[in-house]
A and B are shown apart, each in its own frame.
Chain A
Amino acid sequence: MKHDIFHRLISVMAALLMVMPLLMLSCVDEEIPCVDSPQGNFEALWQLMDERYCFFDYKKKELGIDWDEIHDRYSRRISSGMNREQLFQVLCDMIGELRDGHVNLGASFDYGRNWSYWEDFPENYYDSIARGYLGRDYNIAAGLSFRVLDDNVGYVRIESFSDGMGDGNISSMLQLLAGCRGLIIDVRNNGGGSLSNVETLVSHFTNSKVLVGYVYHKTGKGHNDFSKPEPMYVEPARGTRWQKDVVVITNRQSFSATNDFVKCMHTLPNVTLLGDRTGGGSGMPFNMELPNGWSVRYSAVVYLDAQGQHTEFGIDPDTLVMMNQSDVIKRKDTLIEAARSLFW
């Protein structure tokens, strides 16, 4: 009897299963309509940013940005007869309101950006002058270019954090520079790269586990839907660790992962920041796309400093030093010279 009831139950469930395919086929689909028209692409970009951009609450406080008002203002500039270059311009103007170097629009004919974080400021860096300090016989270890300057100060130039940077590279470099009185790390015009490389490098400058900041992400589509900020630590490296003073030279183009490097180094006791304010860019960017295939980049994950403060608009140096034009004429780098003087 029990066996019969069991079989009947299975029969009913089996019958239901046969019908279920018809019930389920149209369940989970796109939420942002894929309409390739000027209006469709405009709405798609606005909605995508509205749901996913992570700095709306912060930029509302800092810049007074009202994303709904921006929609109304820019939608008036959209018309069905506009060509792709005109549409691109309007969309770039709209996302440019966010003043975020990580917010970009990519098309086959242009790359939309707001680089005011460095374009509006003195560069404080001349590549040919800085290269003069490295000379020709400098060492290259992965992404690290370095040499000993004639006053026995180590000088390390890092142009990018995109190149692989292993513990072995860093340890070897620090061993070669071990006899120096101090170390200058020059990250001017370094637009960022991999956060893993940043963490690896920073770990060679601390002897204990150190809190370097907090990270959180969006958990929903609301402007304030965030996860709890989680602490981020850097553990000391197992290889060679630097024990002497360090000066990190920055400018407005020290952006993104480089901003994160500066943020981490700033938590360490024997490190001085020198130069100009960094460019910021503390959000990790994600990529999406519009119906017409243009790529969209936007800040998705928020990184705070060890005090729980935003560094989206940069980090101030301990010692503000700007490039002196009389030094430029003499082929001297004011910032490097100022950094060297700190070791005397």
Chain B
Amino acid sequence: MNRLVFMLLMAVMPLIAFAQKTYYVGIGAADVLDTYLSPYSYKGVHVSLAREVQYVHTLHNLSVSAAFTDSPAGNVDEYVGDIRYGVAHQFELLNCNGFSLKAGPMGSALLGAIYNSRNGNNPVQAKVALTADLSVRARYDLRIRNCRFPLQYTLCVPCVGVAFSPNFGQSYYEFSLGVYDRNVKFANVFNSPSLNHRLTVGIPIGDNVLKVGYMGRVDQSVFNHLRYHYYTHSLIIGFEL
């Protein structure tokens, strides 16, 4: 038994030892549309926190984001908040001359909500989704005067999954009565074409790396004739430990 535990530890140790942890904070612009709440897009500020843990072949990503937006006329507020977790297993496809490319499947879970400050019986829209994604990570070590500046691009595209949506005119009160109507939807690249991507450049500081870059998020769906998009463009700063 002890021998088995020892062997397992020996197998896992290299993975733990090579873990790269990066913490990001981001701020930027948000554009939100959810036609359950309003026919129009709301625009405002987006903030996010993310933690990425990178092993040899595995990537864990946890992010929390919020957006504070205004209606086109500027008289109504809409708030967005969500938490997303994803774990990917990536295969190395290319590794030459400082360039590496990895790709693989990813499983993601999203939990969030949008709140509209004006609405009475339809003030909130819940966002829940479980998806199987494809993730890609490209990295190039840029060298300037013996200094290494790693450029990294990561991309995640949800492919299939399940997502929650009320029906077109369904009230949340009906759920309390036990009335459900096509509320679990099959999500795919046609009815919910979405992606998350991030481009960073690393600046070595001692043994650590400061990362600066761009993060974009395109969440979209059309379920039960309800249209949704959540676009963000953020400047991000991260610290790799």
Contact = CB atoms under 8 A, between A and B. Distances in A.
Given A14-B101, A21-B155, A293-B74, A230 B91 contact: no
Contacts of B228: 28
Contact of B38 (A225, A232, A288): A288
Interface residues of A, number: 50
Interface stretch (B3-11, B52-60, B200-208, B216-224): B216-224
A48 interface: yes
Contacts of A10: 91, 93, 103-104
A175 to B, nearest CB: 27
Contacts of A217: 167-171, 174, 181
B177 A297 contact: no
Given A14-B103, A28-B229, A54 B169 contact: yes
B65 interface: no
Given A24-B193, A25-B218, A217-B169, A287 B118 contact: yes
A255 B157 CA distance: 49
Contacts of B120: 285-287, 297
Interface in B60-74: 71-74
A52 B169 contact: yes
Given A34-B72, A300-B122, A28 B222 contact: yes
Contacts of B104: 10
Contact of B170 (A27, A36, A301): A301
B167 A219 contact: yes
A117 to B, nearest CB: 19
B169 A301 contact: yes
Contacts of A211: none
Given A11-B94, A27-B220, 17 more contacts: A20-B157, A24-B218, A29-B33, A32-B40, A34-B40, A195-B173, A215-B179, A219-B167, A219-B224, A220-B168, A286-B121, A286-B171, A287-B122, A289-B73, A291-B73, A293-B75, A301-B171
Interface in B144-192: 155, 157, 167-171, 173-174, 176-177, 179, 181-182
B14 interface: no
Contact of B93 (A7, A52, A195, A232): A7
Nearest to B73: A293
Contacts of A300: 121-122, 169, 171
A232 B175 CA distance: 12
Nearest to B220: A28
Contacts of B76: 289, 293, 295
